[in-house]
């Protein structure tokens, strides 16, 4: 599966995801969610997670064909249901200290031809049932990370004019470059990048702007900022004390309008 992808690049991505992204701690369990297509990356993540002292590495997979099977064959009532027991289990794991890693790279148009009402209902059911699992993540109670994998369907949409295996390789190259994985020490690359983001955050906080003005062709937008607003960005400590980099890649510094 995806054996044509550069194994060294996948390995570097996996190492940075574990050591810098989630910053897995010795004895900590790691829960991974991914599409089946990302199995080669998940396997490398498991290697680096156990090298870092992981207690358990627990992957949970989705599959495009199984997802489509539901929309094409399931009873109508299926779309108002979600596995609340599964999300309660994840929530219990996070409350117990497990770290979280999500691998993106699914086909962004997988459900484009399916019944929009069923898609909305299924999404709503997951939002309701998933609260025990999403709460600790949204509240930044545990260290977590999102990293990208060049899934075949996604790659084919980004590079539609080349064979799919070549498209995947080209997309992996783009992810590799954006994720700062080149050079002798990708982990140090991210330490340097985080320091640069913190410099930008410090400068922005010192300015105490009242508003941001965006202008361009057909655009003149003024966005007010709250008095005493705070800019953040780069690696940050979760409430469990572990400093992690939630998004790889990222160039983000942010505040609330």
Instruction: Strand 144-148: give its sheet, edge to edge.
Output: 57-62, 30-35, 99-104, 144-148, 247-248
Q: Where are the alpha helices (DSSP H) in the chain?
A: 7-16, 39-51, 64-73, 84-95, 116-129, 131-138, 152-158, 164-178, 186-207
Domain end: 129, 161, 187, which one? Answer: 187
71 and 42 within one domain: yes
208 and 182 within one domain: no
Report the C-alpha gap between 96 and 204 in whole angstroms. Answer: 36
Confidence tier at 109 by pLDDT (50, 70, 90): very high
Residue range 21-70, pLDDT digits in tens: 999 999 999 999 999 999 999 999 999 999 999 999 999 999 999 999 99
137 and 147 within one domain: yes
Half-sphere exposure of 209 (CA within 13 A, CB side): 17
pLDDT value of residue 233: 92
- Per residue in 30-40, is it b (16+ CB within 10 Å) or e — as a string? bbbbbbebbbb
Report the C-alpha gap between 36 and 142 in whole angstroms. Answer: 25
192 and 169 within one domain: no
Residue range 183-232, pLDDT digits in tens: 999 999 999 999 999 999 999 999 999 999 999 999 999 999 999 999 99
Residue range 141-169, pLDDT digits in tens: 999 999 999 999 999 999 999 999 999 99
What domain range is 196 assigned to?
Answer: 188-235
In the predicted structure, residue 5 carries a pLDDT above the cut 60 = yes
228 and 140 within one domain: no
Specify the residue for token string 């899934």.
151
What does the pLDDT average to over 4-18?
A: 96
Report the C-alpha gap between 69 and 66 in whole angstroms. Answer: 5
Q: For residue 154, what are its two tokens? A: 């996604």
155 and 197 within one domain: no
Total count of residues recorded for the chain = 257
Q: With beta carbons less than 8 A apart as the criterion, state whether 223 and 212 touch.
A: yes
Rounded to the nearest 10 degrees, what angle do helices 84-95 and 131-138 cross at? 30
51 and 105 within one domain: yes
pLDDT value of residue 4: 87
Say which CATH number the domain at 21 has.
3.40.1830.10
């Amino acid at each position: 599966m995806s054996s044509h992808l550069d194994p060294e690049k996948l390995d570097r991505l996996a190492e940075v995801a574990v050591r810098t992204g989630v910053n897995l701690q010795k004895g900590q369990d790691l829960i991974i969610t991914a599409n089946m297509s990302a199995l080669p990356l998940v396997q490398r993540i498991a290697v680096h997670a156990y090298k870092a002292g992981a207690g358990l590495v627990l992957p949970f997979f989705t599959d495009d064909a199984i997802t489509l099977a539901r929309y094409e064959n399931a009873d109508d009532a299926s779309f108002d249901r979600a596995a609340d027991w599964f999300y309660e289990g994840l929530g219990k794991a996070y409350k117990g200290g497990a770290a979280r890693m999500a691998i993106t790279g699914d086909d962004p148009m997988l459900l484009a031809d399916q019944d929009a009402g069923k898609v909305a209902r299924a999404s709503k059911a997951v939002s309701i049932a998933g609260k025990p699992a999403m709460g600790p993540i949204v509240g930044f109670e545990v260290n977590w990370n999102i990293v990208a994998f060049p899934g075949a369907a996604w790659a084919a949409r980004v590079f539609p004019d080349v064979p799919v295996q070549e498209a995947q390789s080209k997309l992996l190259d783009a992810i590799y470059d954006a994720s700062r994985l080149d050079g002798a020490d990708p982990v140090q690359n991210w330490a340097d990048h985080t320091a640069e983001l913190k410099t930008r955050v410090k400068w922005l906080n010192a300015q105490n702007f009242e508003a941001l003005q965006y202008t361009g062709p057909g655009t003149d937008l003024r966005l007010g900022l709250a008095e005493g607003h705070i800019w953040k960005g780069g690696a940050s400590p979760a409430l469990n004390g572990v400093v992690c980099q939630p998004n790889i890649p990222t160039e983000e510094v942010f505040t609330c309008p």
